[in-house]
Structure 1
Amino acid sequence: MIIFYDGNCPLCTKEMRLLKEADIYNKITLEDINTNDFEQRFNYIKHEDALAFLHGQQDNGEMIYGLDVTFAAWQTVGRHKWLTILQLPGIRFMADQIYKVFAKYRSPIARLTCKSTCGIK
């Protein structure tokens, strides 16, 4: 699985670090969407779309987005099984709406919430 994440987002970077620490079998590849050659290497992903919401690619090439990426990633490493609740129909809709707001405002949220834990100055 490949996860395309915003390396300029302290919250995103923190979660990716925690995910890779749990990835003892090296099943997940992380790709920072802000690298200079990102659009050349992944020309099927628009940078602006990747900034708007989390993108992932399953091993079979299928693209997944938003909370589906989070769910699949933690499932892949065998952690946070409680995230299964986000797949339930009524909860999924609400969680997706909340995620969209979070994704849009992740930078100000990071500045407010994780100065000490994410390394923000």
Structure 2
Amino acid sequence: MIPAVTVWFDGDCPLCVREIALMRRLDKRGAIAFENVAGDGSCPIDRADLLARFHAREAGGPMVSGAAAFAALWRAIPVLAPFGQLARLPPLLWILERAYRGFLRLRPRLQALVRRLDARPSRDAA
């Protein structure tokens, strides 16, 4: 089966790993191909560019990044598809892209926070 969408993600990013895990659970039809760019996943463009922003390609379409890539991902998951369809509206996509760019500025600090939280000993282990 040809995937409805292929997404490229940073498997070394704890935020990305969590989000992709959620998307895998929601992808009950297996419509999404997930490529870990930090691992041995395919890189159709420069690896640094793929690691800097979220990228996706709907079957037969162009590669997109940022909010447009999230919208493509959402369209492949029935429960999120309405949000992906709404994101086709240029004003909404513009707003989502601005929000994504804001997130990218915070991403390094959020990654560091999640890594520190992950490194803490579990209360269950005590």
TM-score, with structure 2 as normaliser? 0.74
Q: Which of 1, 4, 9 does residue 5 from structure 1 map onto?
A: 9
CA distance, structure 1, for counterparts of residue 58 and residue 107 of structure 2:
24
Flag structure 1 segments of 5+ consecutive residues without an equivalent.
none
Q: 2:118 aligns to what?
A: 120
The number of residues matched between the two structures is 114
Name the Cα RMSD after superposition.
2.4
CA distance, structure 2, for counterparts of residue 87 and residue 32 of structure 1:
26
Flag structure 2 segments of 5+ consecutive residues without an equivalent.
120-126
- The answer to which structure, 1 or 2, has the higher relative contact order (CA under 8 A, 6+ apart) is 1
CA distance, structure 2, for counterparts of residue 22 and residue 48 of structure 1:
28
Shift of 1:59: 1.6
State how 1:1-121 maps to structure 2 within 5 Å. Answer: 1-35=5-39, 37-38=40-41, 41-42=42-43, 44-60=44-60, 62-80=62-80, 81-82=82-83, 84-112=85-113, 114=114, 120-121=118-119
| CA deviation profile, 1:73-121 (whole Å, cap 9, x unmatched) | 1221112334544443333223212212313431312344x579xx632
Spell out structure 1 runs of 4+ moving beyond 4 A.
Answer: none
Larger radius of gyration: 2
Q: Secondary structure in 2 aligned to 1:4?
A: strand
